[in-house]
Structure 1
């Protein structure tokens, strides 16, 4: 089954700082912040929300079609997607731009500082939501501003239910715009910080926002997640990873789990746990698209972690 994924495609440069940012940033001096972090570890990876979600969904046995714009430097990434069986039909190359680039520094407490160059992502509105690709569900993840707006409108017009996942793109929108996204979406997914910002900008409490969609998902990192649905709040436990290696891309892995549950008609208790396990598996590996598993292996681990079958 197929999901349509509006989101960024990016090259990630990931660096590890073997200390804590808090040990080197003086709160009373942030107005004149001028710091340098020595990062002996550096990797270049394929990333971006659409690419990461599609990769994770493919591991689960479903197809995710990225809806994105990229630069003239995209060819190595395109070859990777082809090898992984991820469609590239709705990825448009903008010849005079770079593919989006993320420069991510992670400290020992898994805090991250990211610099992001949008590049061709800003032209995401050039790609339309296809109505003939078999998409049963969609997601509007961080992408170019106009692309996010237009893809939400196109999903709604086509009657394709979608998740609104504003992520790092949330600060680009004012309250009325965010409420429009919520009204068009069937589901909303945010992390704890984003949920607070969403409430602040819209002027609505989380409970009021949850009443406007079928489910509102709030991820809480190592504390699991909460799913507000049908007037209830489901507490979804976190899965303890075998190793804490790299948190980059965990949110995208979690959202692939949500899409898998929606595509397969699973209830929210199971869907949330699939998403939770996906995030845990991702954090055990460096990079956003380097982890892997067999579907039988995933089902076995799911049963071991939660004491029930998928």
Structure 2
């Protein structure tokens, strides 16, 4: 059955500046800043949270259904999705816009200067999924503000269980809106920074919020994750990565494992460990959609990482 993944489908243009920004930005002149960086290295990656999650979920054997609004430059991405076999009936093309895209320049100290153009994502509230039957589960991830609020209402009305994952869109919501979305979700997932921001913004602790949902998941990067479920705090250990190359998209890979485990009805220990393993596999590759695995290789990697069997 299809799993609806609501969020961005975007291009990531990543450039490397072979020097340090601090050598070219004068602190006492930032009020009249005019700088140019020569970036000999550049690559363009397929990204966006919906596209990234769909990529890993498909390799797990799931049926991902990304839902996003895209623009006039979407053709290369559409071709890629077609070759992968990822469904596109909930991707809406708006030719008057560009596809969302992120431009990232990184220096030798791993400092980043980023510009994000939302493009068609600003019209995400005009997209629909009611023409698709049999949706078993949904994830509502970072997207246009009105689109995210609409998806919460629509999933509730349709009786579709959903994960609320505000991510970098969290500043778009006031405390009341954020709390309403979380309390009406079946599951909530946050990273540790977002969790702290949520507690500050809503006045609720993670334990208090977890009492209203089936599970609340907090990821902690290389320190693993914590799943608050059924009155328990389940500590999920990190899986050791073969190499630490690029963290972009690790959270999305984790969420693919989370969605698959929820749909399969697995316990939280197995689901969390699978999600952790996918994050470790992703971080060893550049870009959010270049890691690869088979079900057999994943079972072996799971056994080596955690000493148990993955019921794939």
CA deviation after TM superposition for structure 1 residue 129, in Å? 3.0
In structure 2, the CA distance between the partners of 1:171 and 1:208, relative to structure 1 (3 Å rule), is: same
Q: Which residue of 2 aligns with 1:101?
A: 101
In structure 2, the CA distance between the partners of 1:112 and 1:193, relative to structure 1 (3 Å rule), is: farther
Q: Which residue of 1 aligns with 2:134?
A: 134
Structure 2 contact 183–209 (Cα < 8 Å) conserved? no
CA deviation after TM superposition for structure 1 residue 104, in Å? 2.4
In structure 2, the CA distance between the partners of 1:207 and 1:290, relative to structure 1 (3 Å rule), is: same
Task: Report Cα offsets for 1:155-206 as digits up to 9, x if no partner.
Answer: 1111111110000100000000001101221110111111111111111122
Structure 1 contact 199–205 (Cα < 8 Å) conserved? yes
- 1:289 equivalent to 2:289? Answer yes
- 1:122 equivalent to 2:129? Answer no
Report the TM-score when normalising by structure 1: 0.93
**Does the residue aligned with 2:235 lie in a helix, a strand or coil?**
strand
Q: Which residue of 1 aligns with 2:46?
A: 46
CA deviation after TM superposition for structure 1 residue 109, in Å? 6.7
Q: Which residue of 2 aligns with 1:200?
A: 200
Looking at structure 1, the residues matched to 99 and 135 of structure 2 have their Cα atoms a distance apart, in angstroms, of: 25
- Stretches (4+) displaced over 6 A: 19-26, 28-31
Query: How large is the Cα RMSD of the aligned pairs?
Result: 2.2
Q: How many residues align?
A: 309
Looking at structure 2, the residues matched to 30 and 194 of structure 1 have their Cα atoms a distance apart, in angstroms, of: 33
In structure 2, the CA distance between the partners of 1:201 and 1:24, relative to structure 1 (3 Å rule), is: farther
Looking at structure 2, the residues matched to 142 and 157 of structure 1 have their Cα atoms a distance apart, in angstroms, of: 21
**Structure 2: runs of 5+ lacking an equivalent:** none
User: Pairwise mapping of residues 138-177 of structure 1 onto structure 2 (< 5 A)?
Assistant: 138-177=138-177
Structure 2 contact 74–99 (Cα < 8 Å) conserved? yes
Report the TM-score when normalising by structure 2: 0.92
CA deviation after TM superposition for structure 1 residue 16, in Å? 3.6
Task: Report Cα offsets for 1:11-59 as digits up to 9, x if no partner.
Answer: 1112345677789889x87975957666443210111111111111001
User: Pairwise mapping of residues 271-290 of structure 1 onto structure 2 (< 5 A)?
Assistant: 271-290=271-290
CA deviation after TM superposition for structure 1 residue 132, in Å? 3.5
User: Pairwise mapping of residues 159-238 of structure 1 onto structure 2 (< 5 A)?
Assistant: 159-238=159-238
